[in-house]
Structure 1
Amino acid sequence: MDEDLLRFADVPKCRRPARIGGFVSRRWSVEESMEIEADVSAVYELLADVRRLSHWSPGFFAVWAMPGPGRVNKRFLGWQRRCLLVSLTNCEVSLASPGSEFAFSVAFFGLPVEVWGYRISARGNGRSLVTAYWSDLRGGRSACLSERWRIALTGSRSGLRRQVNRQDLRETLRRLKLHAESSGRGSGPSRRP
Protein backbone atom coordinates (compact mmCIF):
# COMPACT_ATOMS: atom_id res chain seq x y z
CA MET A 1 0.00 0.00 0.00
CA ASP A 2 1.19 3.55 -0.70
CA GLU A 3 3.11 4.96 2.29
CA ASP A 4 1.47 8.40 1.90
CA LEU A 5 -1.98 6.85 2.33
CA LEU A 6 -0.87 4.96 5.44
CA ARG A 7 0.82 7.94 7.05
CA PHE A 8 -2.09 10.33 6.48
CA ALA A 9 -4.93 7.86 7.02
CA ASP A 10 -6.01 9.44 10.33
CA VAL A 11 -5.55 13.06 9.27
CA PRO A 12 -8.35 14.81 7.38
CA LYS A 13 -7.21 16.35 4.12
CA CYS A 14 -8.04 20.04 3.90
CA ARG A 15 -6.81 21.27 0.57
CA ARG A 16 -4.62 18.34 -0.35
CA PRO A 17 -6.64 15.83 -2.41
CA ALA A 18 -6.11 12.15 -1.71
CA ARG A 19 -4.45 10.07 -4.41
CA ILE A 20 -7.69 8.19 -4.97
CA GLY A 21 -9.57 11.38 -5.76
CA GLY A 22 -11.59 13.89 -3.77
CA PHE A 23 -11.29 14.31 -0.05
CA VAL A 24 -10.63 11.44 2.30
CA SER A 25 -13.64 10.12 4.14
CA ARG A 26 -13.10 8.32 7.38
CA ARG A 27 -15.49 6.17 9.31
CA TRP A 28 -14.41 5.36 12.82
CA SER A 29 -16.47 3.55 15.40
CA VAL A 30 -16.03 2.06 18.84
CA GLU A 31 -18.23 -0.34 20.82
CA GLU A 32 -18.18 -1.52 24.43
CA SER A 33 -20.60 -3.89 26.17
CA MET A 34 -21.55 -4.64 29.76
CA GLU A 35 -24.14 -6.85 31.44
CA ILE A 36 -26.44 -5.03 33.86
CA GLU A 37 -28.81 -6.53 36.45
CA ALA A 38 -31.85 -4.64 35.23
CA ASP A 39 -34.51 -5.42 32.66
CA VAL A 40 -34.35 -3.85 29.21
CA SER A 41 -37.23 -1.43 29.79
CA ALA A 42 -35.62 -0.04 32.96
CA VAL A 43 -32.27 0.43 31.22
CA TYR A 44 -33.92 2.04 28.20
CA GLU A 45 -35.87 4.41 30.45
CA LEU A 46 -32.63 5.59 32.08
CA LEU A 47 -30.86 6.11 28.76
CA ALA A 48 -33.78 7.79 26.95
CA ASP A 49 -34.04 10.55 29.57
CA VAL A 50 -31.50 12.80 27.85
CA ARG A 51 -31.56 15.25 30.77
CA ARG A 52 -29.71 12.59 32.78
CA LEU A 53 -26.93 11.94 30.24
CA SER A 54 -24.54 13.95 32.39
CA HIS A 55 -25.05 11.34 35.16
CA TRP A 56 -23.73 8.55 32.93
CA SER A 57 -21.44 10.17 30.41
CA PRO A 58 -18.08 11.61 31.48
CA GLY A 59 -18.24 13.67 28.27
CA PHE A 60 -21.14 15.82 29.50
CA PHE A 61 -21.15 17.81 32.71
CA ALA A 62 -24.60 19.31 32.00
CA VAL A 63 -27.49 18.77 29.61
CA TRP A 64 -30.40 21.03 28.78
CA ALA A 65 -33.53 19.55 27.27
CA MET A 66 -37.24 20.01 27.60
CA PRO A 67 -38.91 17.43 29.85
CA GLY A 68 -40.35 14.35 28.23
CA PRO A 69 -39.19 11.09 26.76
CA GLY A 70 -36.33 10.87 24.31
CA ARG A 71 -38.08 10.64 20.97
CA VAL A 72 -36.73 10.92 17.45
CA ASN A 73 -35.93 14.53 16.49
CA LYS A 74 -35.86 15.72 20.13
CA ARG A 75 -33.08 18.28 20.39
CA PHE A 76 -30.92 18.97 23.40
CA LEU A 77 -27.74 20.80 24.32
CA GLY A 78 -24.82 19.16 26.07
CA TRP A 79 -22.01 20.96 27.83
CA GLN A 80 -18.64 19.25 27.61
CA ARG A 81 -15.39 19.88 29.40
CA ARG A 82 -12.03 18.67 28.20
CA CYS A 83 -9.06 19.93 30.16
CA LEU A 84 -9.90 23.54 31.03
CA LEU A 85 -12.05 24.22 27.99
CA VAL A 86 -15.84 24.09 27.91
CA SER A 87 -17.87 23.59 24.74
CA LEU A 88 -21.53 23.30 23.86
CA THR A 89 -22.81 20.53 21.58
CA ASN A 90 -26.01 20.52 19.56
CA CYS A 91 -27.57 17.06 19.81
CA GLU A 92 -30.64 15.37 18.35
CA VAL A 93 -32.20 12.01 19.14
CA SER A 94 -31.79 9.96 15.96
CA LEU A 95 -33.12 6.57 17.11
CA ALA A 96 -35.60 5.78 19.87
CA SER A 97 -36.78 2.18 19.87
CA PRO A 98 -38.14 1.51 23.40
CA GLY A 99 -36.54 -1.47 25.04
CA SER A 100 -33.96 -2.09 22.32
CA GLU A 101 -31.95 0.93 21.09
CA PHE A 102 -31.44 4.63 21.73
CA ALA A 103 -29.07 6.96 19.84
CA PHE A 104 -28.37 10.64 19.35
CA SER A 105 -26.33 12.56 16.81
CA VAL A 106 -24.08 15.55 17.35
CA ALA A 107 -23.68 18.38 14.84
CA PHE A 108 -21.28 21.29 14.57
CA PHE A 109 -22.74 24.33 12.79
CA GLY A 110 -25.05 21.99 10.90
CA LEU A 111 -22.31 19.54 9.90
CA PRO A 112 -22.69 15.94 11.14
CA VAL A 113 -19.97 15.07 13.64
CA GLU A 114 -20.78 11.84 15.45
CA VAL A 115 -23.45 9.51 16.74
CA TRP A 116 -23.62 7.96 20.22
CA GLY A 117 -25.97 5.09 20.96
CA TYR A 118 -26.95 2.15 23.10
CA ARG A 119 -28.29 -1.26 22.05
CA ILE A 120 -30.05 -3.22 24.79
CA SER A 121 -30.86 -6.92 24.73
CA ALA A 122 -32.39 -9.23 27.33
CA ARG A 123 -30.05 -11.80 28.89
CA GLY A 124 -32.63 -13.64 31.04
CA ASN A 125 -33.27 -13.45 34.80
CA GLY A 126 -33.92 -9.71 34.57
CA ARG A 127 -30.49 -8.94 33.11
CA SER A 128 -29.62 -6.85 30.08
CA LEU A 129 -26.63 -6.63 27.82
CA VAL A 130 -25.98 -2.99 26.95
CA THR A 131 -23.70 -2.19 24.03
CA ALA A 132 -22.66 1.46 23.88
CA TYR A 133 -21.30 2.70 20.58
CA TRP A 134 -19.82 5.79 18.96
CA SER A 135 -19.35 6.50 15.25
CA ASP A 136 -17.52 9.42 13.68
CA LEU A 137 -19.59 10.89 10.85
CA ARG A 138 -17.08 13.47 9.62
CA GLY A 139 -15.68 13.21 6.16
CA GLY A 140 -14.44 15.41 3.36
CA ARG A 141 -14.45 19.13 3.96
CA SER A 142 -16.44 18.89 7.19
CA ALA A 143 -13.68 16.69 8.64
CA CYS A 144 -11.17 19.48 8.10
CA LEU A 145 -13.35 22.14 9.73
CA SER A 146 -14.31 20.02 12.73
CA GLU A 147 -10.71 18.82 13.18
CA ARG A 148 -9.46 22.38 13.48
CA TRP A 149 -12.27 23.20 15.89
CA ARG A 150 -11.46 20.10 17.99
CA ILE A 151 -7.78 21.01 18.23
CA ALA A 152 -8.67 24.57 19.27
CA LEU A 153 -11.09 23.37 21.97
CA THR A 154 -9.43 20.24 23.29
CA GLY A 155 -5.86 20.25 22.10
CA SER A 156 -6.28 16.66 20.87
CA ARG A 157 -6.20 15.36 17.32
CA SER A 158 -8.85 13.06 15.91
CA GLY A 159 -6.54 10.05 16.02
CA LEU A 160 -6.91 10.07 19.80
CA ARG A 161 -10.72 10.27 19.66
CA ARG A 162 -11.18 6.51 19.41
CA GLN A 163 -9.11 5.93 22.54
CA VAL A 164 -10.79 8.71 24.51
CA ASN A 165 -14.26 7.68 23.37
CA ARG A 166 -13.62 4.02 24.21
CA GLN A 167 -12.70 5.11 27.76
CA ASP A 168 -15.82 7.31 27.89
CA LEU A 169 -18.04 4.42 26.76
CA ARG A 170 -16.59 2.14 29.43
CA GLU A 171 -17.10 4.77 32.12
CA THR A 172 -20.65 5.48 30.90
CA LEU A 173 -21.55 1.79 31.13
CA ARG A 174 -19.94 1.50 34.57
CA ARG A 175 -21.94 4.48 35.89
CA LEU A 176 -25.16 3.25 34.29
CA LYS A 177 -24.66 -0.20 35.82
CA LEU A 178 -24.01 1.24 39.29
CA HIS A 179 -27.13 3.37 39.14
CA ALA A 180 -29.43 0.75 37.62
CA GLU A 181 -28.36 -1.94 40.07
CA SER A 182 -28.30 0.24 43.19
CA SER A 183 -31.56 2.10 42.54
CA GLY A 184 -33.70 -1.01 42.57
CA ARG A 185 -34.49 -0.61 38.87
CA GLY A 186 -33.03 -4.01 38.24
CA SER A 187 -35.28 -7.02 38.42
CA GLY A 188 -32.60 -9.70 38.61
CA PRO A 189 -32.61 -12.51 41.17
CA SER A 190 -31.04 -10.36 43.94
CA ARG A 191 -33.90 -7.83 43.68
CA ARG A 192 -36.74 -10.31 44.20
CA PRO A 193 -38.23 -11.08 47.63
Structure 2
Amino acid sequence: MSEAAAAAVGTELKATITIDATPAQVWALVSDVKRMSEWSPQVVRSVVLGGPVKRGTRFLNVNQQGWKRWPTTAKVVRFTPHTDFAFRITENRSVWSFQLEPTPEGGTLVTHRRETPDGISAVSKVLTATVLGGQKSFVPELLEGMSQTLERVKAEAEQN
Protein backbone atom coordinates (compact mmCIF):
# COMPACT_ATOMS: atom_id res chain seq x y z
CA MET A 1 0.00 0.00 0.00
CA SER A 2 1.19 3.50 -0.82
CA GLU A 3 2.57 5.63 2.02
CA ALA A 4 2.12 8.83 0.04
CA ALA A 5 -1.26 10.53 0.08
CA ALA A 6 -2.34 12.13 -3.21
CA ALA A 7 -5.33 14.22 -4.25
CA ALA A 8 -6.61 16.61 -6.88
CA VAL A 9 -8.05 19.84 -5.48
CA GLY A 10 -9.40 21.96 -8.29
CA THR A 11 -6.60 22.08 -10.84
CA GLU A 12 -3.87 21.46 -8.25
CA LEU A 13 -2.47 17.95 -7.88
CA LYS A 14 -0.78 17.23 -4.58
CA ALA A 15 0.97 14.31 -2.92
CA THR A 16 2.56 14.26 0.54
CA ILE A 17 4.79 11.94 2.51
CA THR A 18 6.84 12.05 5.70
CA ILE A 19 10.45 10.98 5.30
CA ASP A 20 12.75 9.98 8.16
CA ALA A 21 15.59 12.22 6.94
CA THR A 22 16.47 15.88 7.37
CA PRO A 23 15.26 18.55 4.95
CA ALA A 24 18.87 18.93 3.76
CA GLN A 25 19.06 15.22 2.89
CA VAL A 26 15.72 15.27 1.06
CA TRP A 27 16.60 18.55 -0.70
CA ALA A 28 19.78 16.99 -2.10
CA LEU A 29 17.60 14.38 -3.83
CA VAL A 30 14.60 16.36 -5.09
CA SER A 31 16.70 19.24 -6.45
CA ASP A 32 19.06 16.91 -8.34
CA VAL A 33 17.35 17.27 -11.73
CA LYS A 34 19.68 14.78 -13.43
CA ARG A 35 18.34 12.05 -11.12
CA MET A 36 14.63 12.82 -11.69
CA SER A 37 14.21 9.67 -13.79
CA GLU A 38 15.15 7.63 -10.70
CA TRP A 39 12.21 9.11 -8.82
CA SER A 40 9.47 9.85 -11.37
CA PRO A 41 7.92 6.98 -13.36
CA GLN A 42 7.05 9.46 -16.13
CA VAL A 43 10.56 10.87 -16.62
CA VAL A 44 12.96 8.89 -18.82
CA ARG A 45 15.82 11.40 -18.74
CA SER A 46 16.61 14.95 -17.66
CA VAL A 47 19.47 17.04 -19.01
CA VAL A 48 20.50 20.24 -17.23
CA LEU A 49 21.55 23.07 -19.54
CA GLY A 50 24.45 24.99 -18.06
CA GLY A 51 26.08 24.75 -14.65
CA PRO A 52 24.70 23.90 -11.24
CA VAL A 53 20.94 23.91 -10.72
CA LYS A 54 19.64 27.21 -9.30
CA ARG A 55 16.80 29.65 -9.95
CA GLY A 56 16.68 30.29 -13.71
CA THR A 57 18.37 27.01 -14.70
CA ARG A 58 16.83 25.38 -17.75
CA PHE A 59 16.62 21.67 -18.44
CA LEU A 60 15.20 19.18 -20.91
CA ASN A 61 13.12 16.13 -20.04
CA VAL A 62 12.09 13.10 -21.99
CA ASN A 63 8.78 11.83 -20.59
CA GLN A 64 6.88 8.61 -21.17
CA GLN A 65 3.49 6.96 -20.96
CA GLY A 66 3.85 3.33 -21.96
CA TRP A 67 5.53 3.30 -25.37
CA LYS A 68 4.81 7.00 -26.00
CA ARG A 69 7.65 9.45 -25.40
CA TRP A 70 7.79 13.22 -25.67
CA PRO A 71 10.23 16.01 -24.81
CA THR A 72 9.57 18.98 -22.54
CA THR A 73 11.64 21.95 -21.50
CA ALA A 74 11.63 23.46 -18.03
CA LYS A 75 12.97 26.39 -16.04
CA VAL A 76 13.61 26.48 -12.28
CA VAL A 77 11.31 29.19 -10.90
CA ARG A 78 11.85 28.71 -7.15
CA PHE A 79 15.02 27.56 -5.44
CA THR A 80 15.13 27.96 -1.67
CA PRO A 81 17.56 25.36 -0.29
CA HIS A 82 16.06 22.78 2.07
CA THR A 83 12.60 24.34 1.66
CA ASP A 84 11.22 24.86 -1.87
CA PHE A 85 12.19 23.66 -5.35
CA ALA A 86 9.90 24.39 -8.32
CA PHE A 87 10.12 24.36 -12.09
CA ARG A 88 7.76 25.44 -14.88
CA ILE A 89 7.21 23.24 -17.93
CA THR A 90 7.30 25.50 -20.99
CA GLU A 91 4.98 23.46 -23.19
CA ASN A 92 1.98 23.27 -20.85
CA ARG A 93 2.75 26.08 -18.35
CA SER A 94 2.41 23.79 -15.32
CA VAL A 95 4.55 24.36 -12.23
CA TRP A 96 5.89 21.27 -10.45
CA SER A 97 7.29 21.67 -6.95
CA PHE A 98 8.67 19.97 -3.87
CA GLN A 99 8.13 21.79 -0.57
CA LEU A 100 9.95 20.55 2.50
CA GLU A 101 9.03 21.14 6.15
CA PRO A 102 10.92 19.79 9.15
CA THR A 103 8.89 17.56 11.45
CA PRO A 104 9.17 17.63 15.27
CA GLU A 105 10.68 14.12 15.12
CA GLY A 106 13.61 15.28 12.94
CA GLY A 107 12.18 14.12 9.63
CA THR A 108 10.73 15.98 6.67
CA LEU A 109 7.18 16.44 5.43
CA VAL A 110 7.40 16.61 1.63
CA THR A 111 4.61 18.05 -0.50
CA HIS A 112 4.86 17.45 -4.24
CA ARG A 113 2.55 19.67 -6.32
CA ARG A 114 1.51 20.28 -9.88
CA GLU A 115 -0.12 23.67 -10.22
CA THR A 116 -1.46 25.49 -13.25
CA PRO A 117 -1.61 29.15 -12.18
CA ASP A 118 -1.77 30.30 -15.82
CA GLY A 119 -3.98 27.44 -17.01
CA ILE A 120 -2.84 24.63 -19.28
CA SER A 121 -1.82 25.52 -22.82
CA ALA A 122 -4.25 24.75 -25.65
CA VAL A 123 -1.66 22.50 -27.32
CA SER A 124 -1.24 20.49 -24.13
CA LYS A 125 -5.01 20.12 -23.72
CA VAL A 126 -5.34 18.79 -27.27
CA LEU A 127 -2.41 16.39 -26.90
CA THR A 128 -3.67 15.11 -23.55
CA ALA A 129 -7.11 14.50 -25.07
CA THR A 130 -5.88 12.83 -28.25
CA VAL A 131 -2.65 11.07 -27.25
CA LEU A 132 -2.55 10.60 -23.47
CA GLY A 133 -6.09 9.35 -22.83
CA GLY A 134 -7.74 12.62 -21.77
CA GLN A 135 -7.75 14.45 -18.44
CA LYS A 136 -10.13 11.95 -16.81
CA SER A 137 -7.55 9.14 -17.04
CA PHE A 138 -4.36 11.24 -17.17
CA VAL A 139 -4.91 13.08 -13.85
CA PRO A 140 -5.13 9.84 -11.77
CA GLU A 141 -2.03 8.61 -13.62
CA LEU A 142 -0.17 11.80 -12.68
CA LEU A 143 -1.29 11.48 -9.04
CA GLU A 144 -0.08 7.88 -8.90
CA GLY A 145 3.23 8.97 -10.45
CA MET A 146 3.60 11.72 -7.85
CA SER A 147 3.04 9.19 -5.06
CA GLN A 148 5.58 6.82 -6.62
CA THR A 149 8.06 9.68 -6.92
CA LEU A 150 7.76 10.49 -3.22
CA GLU A 151 8.00 6.84 -2.20
CA ARG A 152 11.20 6.43 -4.24
CA VAL A 153 12.70 9.60 -2.74
CA LYS A 154 11.75 8.30 0.73
CA ALA A 155 13.39 4.92 0.09
CA GLU A 156 16.61 6.58 -1.08
CA ALA A 157 16.72 9.18 1.71
CA GLU A 158 16.04 6.66 4.46
CA GLN A 159 18.70 4.19 3.30
CA ASN A 160 21.44 6.80 3.66
Sequence identity, in percent? Answer: 24
Match of 2:5 in 1: none
Once the two structures are TM-superposed, the CA of residue 33 in structure 1 deviates from its matched residue by: 0.9
Match of 2:90 in 1: 107
Secondary structure class of the residue paired with 2:113: strand
What does 1:24-103 align with in structure 2 at a 5 Å threshold? 28-66=11-49, 68-103=51-86
Moved more, 124-133 or 91-100: 124-133
What does 1:132-151 align with in structure 2 at a 5 Å threshold? 132-137=112-117, 139=119, 143-151=121-129
Gaps of 5+ in 1: 1-26, 185-193
Once the two structures are TM-superposed, the CA of residue 138 in structure 1 deviates from its matched residue by: 5.7
Once the two structures are TM-superposed, the CA of residue 152 in structure 1 deviates from its matched residue by: 4.2
Structure-1-length-normalised TM-score: 0.71
Match of 1:157 in 2: 134
* CA RMSD across the alignment: 1.9
* Equivalent-residue separation in structure 2 for 1:82 and 1:133 (angstroms): 19
What is the number of equivalent residue pairs in this alignment? 151
Once the two structures are TM-superposed, the CA of residue 159 in structure 1 deviates from its matched residue by: 3.1
Gaps of 5+ in 2: 1-9
Match of 2:143 in 1: 166
Structure 2 letter corresponding to 1:132: H
Structure 1 letter corresponding to 2:26: V
Native 8 Å contact 2:50 2:57 kept in 1: no
Secondary structure class of the residue paired with 2:55: coil
Once the two structures are TM-superposed, the CA of residue 143 in structure 1 deviates from its matched residue by: 3.8
Structure 2 letter corresponding to 1:145: V
Structure 2 letter corresponding to 1:102: F
